[in-house]
Each structure stands twice: as structure tokens, then as C-alpha cells.
């Protein structure tokens, strides 16, 4: 109580000095590392911020001898992801295939940290009616129809078949979600552009969407809206009624569903699901200026000589080492392979097909 005033004053001064010293040392020690952190981050490269972005889900179902094909698809999505979206791959697959995926994807995640993540799930069916779901068709073909109730925490996703390759950033196709009006729940591309070679208009024994049907190899799904409309109940009742008349499994079911609900489907242009049918007789997909966005080697075209354009693109992507220079290690070998490929009808328009890919990859280096 009776402490002399001057002593009290000294005490305060000391305390202030200590605080000042502490603040000073904080800056001396903290600042340099903060500055160098900035320097080390590649100016256009990815950084940890990526993993806080909302992931864009890419979902694939892999059965049979399609692990390698699926991995090449995933590689293409990562390679073309120049808009630096954070990708999340969800792979539904049979027993015994998970390890091969995990090994490769873990390697790639080390090469391209913070750009993507993945989840490997067993073939799964909604538990409330498992037996009925499982027996719909082959388990793998039915899997995608049940994504709304399997991925309950996911709002929307891009489903692709295993024989799809990205030739554009995922953000190009993802922008279509924003174009949906209030009733649309999904986006697909037409099955055909031309009545003379269309399949559904000539052969189908069930109703189908639009004039020529839709192809289901590339499908944007707003799962929130699909759950709201009780998508899976529709699937079940369609299957009950049409099971003896469907040929192409899940794609036919989807076509029948959107025949009854055309207001719920958004149609994307053909370059988002470019198939041999678009060029094997004549060029029937109007790509305008942007070239092909996603290419679909359906019916085995990535692995056959029938239209070498498809096999060449697949092989160039398969041989490309993630992280290496995309221009010299992917585009140049591909151009080389295609330079001799002018005899086939699809090969003739390879420049047009690859216009967008060239533009994205040519003068840009994402390599860290």
C-alpha cells in the first residue's frame, strides 16, 4: 500500500520495455519466414488454399478390365485443370481393384499436391432396398443411377464413363450447372446428330428423350434436385415397366425418364461428349471455334485401329507423365502420331478436334 511512487514507476517501465521487446522479437522472427513463404509459392501454381475450395466431384464406375482406362481419364482431368479447381474423384469399383487405384493416385497426389483428392468405394446400393437394386442389371451398369442416395452430402457432380478423356478444363463443363433453369436437374448430350444413323429413332422399343435420344457417357447431376424429385423411385418404376425392352441398361432408363420429364434435362452441345459417330461417316458435330471438350472412345475406339484419332489421343495421354511439360510431352508426340493420320475420316479433322486442347496447353506451363 505504502510503496514509494518512484519504484512503482520503474516497475511499469520495465513491463512496457518487456512488451516492446516481445513485439519486436515477434516481428524479427516471424516476418522473414512469412516473406519467404510467399516467395516459395509458384506465382501461378497451386497452394494449400486449393483444399479449402469446394471440391468439384468427378464420379466414375469401374468394372472389368478398365482400371488403366479409368486412370488415364483421371490423368487427363488433372492435366487440363488449368483453372485450378480442387478436384475430388470418387471411384466405385469391384473388390480387388482398389489397391491399384490407390497406389497410382497417391503417387500423382505427391506430384501435384493440393490439386485433387480421391475416394475409392465398393459397388454400393441403397440399403433400404438393396436386393431389388442389385438385380436391376449388372451391378456396375446400375451403380450410377443410385448416386443421389449414396453420396448424400454431395450437392452436384460430373459422372463420366471410363472411356472419356478431358481435352478442356473441368470448369468449362461445370459452368452448365449455372445455366440450369429451376426445373433442370441434369445435363447430357444428344445420342446422335443425324437421323439416318441414329439408334433410338430406328431401333428402340421404348420411349426415349427428344428426337434421337441422349448419350449418358458424360452427365452433370445436381444430386440435391434429383433427391428432391425422388429420382430413384422413378428409376424403379421405369425398370418394372420396361425391363424386357431395354438394351443399353442405365442409358435406356435415363432416356425413358427424361421422355416423361423433358423439362428436367439440359442439353449440352456434342463437343462435350465427342464420339466416333460424330466423324466416322462425315463430320456432324459443329464444334465452332472451341474444338472438342471431352472425347468419348465408346465401343472400344480408344483401343482399336478403326479410327486412329481416338487411339492416338488415348495413347498420348497414357504415355504422358503427370508433372512433365504438357506441350513437349503430350501435344508434340500427339501431333507427330496424327501427322500420318489423314486417311481416316476422323483423322482428317484432327486439327479441328484438338483446337481447344492446343490452345489450353500450348504456351502454358503448370509444371511445378
Ligand X SMILES: *[C@@H]1O[C@H](CO)[C@@H](O)[C@H](O)[C@H]1NC(C)=O
Which residues are near ligand X by CB under 6 A? 155-156, 177, 181-184, 222, 224-225, 262-263, 286, 288
Q: Least CB distance from residue 222 to ligand X, whole Å?
A: 4
Closest alpha carbon to 232 in 159, 140, 121, 152: 152
Phi–psi pair at 47, nearest 5 degrees: -140, -175
Quote the CA–CA distance of 294 and 215 in Å, as a whole number.
Answer: 13
Q: Least CB distance from residue 326 to ligand X, whole Å?
A: 28
| Closer CB to ligand X, 63 or 267, in the complex | 267
C-alpha angle with apex 332: 327 to 338, nearest 5 degrees? Answer: 140
Cell numbers describing residue 38: 510467399
Closest alpha carbon to 217 in 302, 312, 112: 302
Q: Least CB distance from residue 335 to ligand X, whole Å?
A: 25
Q: Least CB distance from residue 177 to ligand X, whole Å?
A: 4
Q: Which residues pair with 1 in a beta bridge?
A: none
| Closer CB to ligand X, 174 or 242, in the complex | 174
Q: Least CB distance from residue 198 to ligand X, whole Å?
A: 17
| Closer CB to ligand X, 57 or 166, in the complex | 57
| Closer CB to ligand X, 111 or 229, in the complex | 229
Quote the CA–CA distance of 184 and 261 in Å, as a whole number.
Answer: 10
Quote the CA–CA distance of 199 and 298 in Å, as a whole number.
Answer: 14
Closest alpha carbon to 104 in 318, 302, 324, 352: 318
| Closer CB to ligand X, 70 or 84, in the complex | 84
| Closer CB to ligand X, 187 or 317, in the complex | 187
Q: Least CB distance from residue 188 to ligand X, whole Å?
A: 13
Give one word for 230, left, alpha or beta, with left for phi > 0 and alpha for psi -120 to 50: left
Amino acid at each position: 500500500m505504502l510503496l514509494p511512487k518512484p519504484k512503482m514507476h520503474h516497475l511499469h517501465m520495465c513491463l512496457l520495455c518487456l512488451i516492446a521487446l516481445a513485439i519486436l522479437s515477434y516481428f524479427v522472427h516471424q516476418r522473414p519466414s512469412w516473406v519467404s513463404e510467399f516467395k516459395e509459392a509458384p506465382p501461378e501454381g497451386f497452394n494449400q488454399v486449393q483444399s479449402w475450395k469446394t471440391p468439384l466431384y468427378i464420379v466414375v464406375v469401374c468394372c472389368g478390365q478398365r482400371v488403366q482406362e479409368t486412370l488415364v481419364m483421371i490423368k487427363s482431368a488433372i492435366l487440363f485443370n488449368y483453372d485450378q479447381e480442387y478436384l475430388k474423384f470418387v471411384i466405385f469399383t469391384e473388390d480387388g481393384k482398389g489397391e491399384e487405384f490407390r497406389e497410382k493416385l497417391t503417387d500423382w497426389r505427391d506430384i501435384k499436391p493440393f490439386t485433387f483428392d480421391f475416394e475409392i468405394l465398393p459397388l454400393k446400393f441403397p440399403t433400404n432396398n438393396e436386393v431389388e437394386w442389385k438385380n436391376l442389371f449388372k451391378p456396375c451398369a446400375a451403380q450410377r443411377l443410385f448416386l443421389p442416395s449414396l453420396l448424400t452430402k454431395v450437392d452436384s457432380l460430373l459422372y463420366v464413363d471410363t472411356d472419356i478423356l478431358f481435352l478442356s478444363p473441368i470448369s468449362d463443363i461445370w459452368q452448365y450447372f449455372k445455366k440450369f433453369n429451376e426445373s433442370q436437374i441434369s445435363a447430357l448430350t444428344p445420342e446422335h446428330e443425324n437421323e439416318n444413323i441414329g439408334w433410338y429413332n430406328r431401333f428402340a422399343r421404348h420411349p426415349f428423350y427428344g428426337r434421337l435420344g441422349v448419350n449418358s457417357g458424360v452427365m452433370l447431376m445436381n444430386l440435391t434436385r434429383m433427391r428432391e424429385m425422388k429420382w430413384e423411385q422413378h428409376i424403379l418404376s421405369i425398370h418394372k415397366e420396361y425391363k424386357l425392352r431395354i438394351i443399353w441398361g442405365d442409358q435406356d432408363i435415363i432416356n425413358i425418364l427424361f421422355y416423361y420429364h423433358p423439362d428436367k434435362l439440359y442439353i449440352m452441345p456434342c463437343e462435350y461428349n465427342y464420339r466416333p459417330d460424330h466423324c466416322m461417316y462425315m463430320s456432324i458435330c459443329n464444334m465452332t471455334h472451341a474444338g472438342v471438350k471431352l472425347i468419348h472412345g465408346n465401343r472400344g475406339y480408344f483401343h482399336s485401329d478403326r479410327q486412329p484419332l481416338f487411339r492416338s489421343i488415348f495413347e498420348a495421354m497414357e504415355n504422358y507423365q503427370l508433372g512433365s511439360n504438357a506441350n513437349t510431352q503430350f501435344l508434340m508426340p500427339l501431333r507427330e502420331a496424327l501427322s500420318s493420320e489423314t486417311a481416316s475420316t476422323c483423322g482428317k479433322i484432327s486439327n479441328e478436334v484438338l483446337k481447344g486442347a492446343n490452345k489450353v496447353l500450348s504456351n502454358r506451363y503448370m509444371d511445378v
